[in-house]
Structure 1
Amino acid sequence: MNTSTPLQKRMHQMIEALRDQGFDQIDVAKAAGVSKGTVTQWLDGNIKSIKMENALGIEERFGYSHVWLVLGRGDPIADKQAGQMRTSKKDQAVFELLDVRAACGDGYTNDDHPAVVSTMFLPAQVAQEMLGTTNRNGNIKLITAAKDSMAPTINPDDLVFVDTAVNEYVGETVYLILHGNELLCKRLSLVGRDIVVSSDNKSYPDWKWSERPDATRIIGRVVRVLPIQFKKFGSDR
């Protein structure tokens, strides 16, 4: 006797189609905002319904109708044209935007385990040309800059691409460092035997790494910055 639930059948149909495009359960979980275990339970039939917000996330990412996912009504694909335009995972570079702001200034306190608040998808070729990587291992994360100590190199609200695989000094460049419980974006350079922590905005003083060794560590190297500069035209009202 077939005891599959309606949602289970729809999930299997969708997952099988997405696998042909190079996606898997983890990709569906990220889109829906749930754990991989929840997707497994949808597929096993242990969870017999899907929340509207989870279905909307899947629709936004993959084009599968939230009405079809939740109720089984209408066409599986919400926007046929959007479905045709989707590229496979192997043709995309994925960058996760973390829920942190790196202080280009005196320090910005962050959670120990920041959540992913959004995801940027770029064509693999574009990412390779812009960043020199397609980020297949997921090491490169996106964060938002705060304050102005690295201006004009990095301005407040710029998006910063950080290679989190780099956790030691590899030459003079801009790094993301954790100082105490504060996340800082600073330039590190070797002067004699000392690593000097400096700001591109010379209004902020330099300091030596050796002066604060126990409270400081490198958590990433800045590889690119995407400037975010909004121009005002007239009143905001």
Structure 2
Amino acid sequence: AKALRTVPVVLDIAERVRRTNPDAWIIDFTNPVGIVTRALLQAGHRTVGLCNVAIGFQRKFAGMLGVAPVDVHLDHVGLNHLSWETGVRLGGPEGENVLPKLLAEHGDTIADDLRLPRTLVDRLGVVPSYYLRYFYAHDEVVRELRTKPSRAAEVAAMERELLKMYGDPALDEKPELLAKRGGAYYSEAAVDLAAALLGGGGSPYQVVNTYNKGTLPFLPDDAVIEVQAA
């Protein structure tokens, strides 16, 4: 339903961009990212989709390993919001895979953050996106959702409070409440990706939503997948 509402609007914006600058890149943040990105690609736009799941894991793993986030490269595979980290490499895409070490030394923390059983994470041998809790722990999630306000109601309440804060001219820092809204690190991810696309720096490897083109042989070439790309 959200795609049906969103795709026509995004395509209209993209056409305006194309008329102004046919060579412009469009970075799509709009959910559902996979579907919206595919619509843009099929319409011939230069576009990639961006989600903050990978950059969140990159920073989490960097903290656990005591290294800079730029030194952590993810073997990230799947679809948007349906993805797994199958490897965590140091120094580049060909670097040492330290995911087994992370799971051995920090497995409890990783599982707790995902709100999944440690035994499940160990059995998988990979780190699933936190969205996959809706699949792996479906019944538990349904029980939780039936006992609290909907996410829409929670977000609406946050937005009302945030707008009050933004109305204060003395506010000169990001409100802590904003962290509960979601979308952490999007600004950093966007700037880094834009710099890389324009040749002005940024990490040479980015996790993006783009055409499969044979990367995952069990999916069509024109499927939009979420993987690390150069």
TM-score using structure 2 length: 0.22
TM-score using structure 1 length: 0.21
If asked which structure has higher relative contact order (CA below 8 Å, sep 6+), I would say 2
Give the structure with higher Rg (CA): 1
Select the structure that is richer in helix: 2
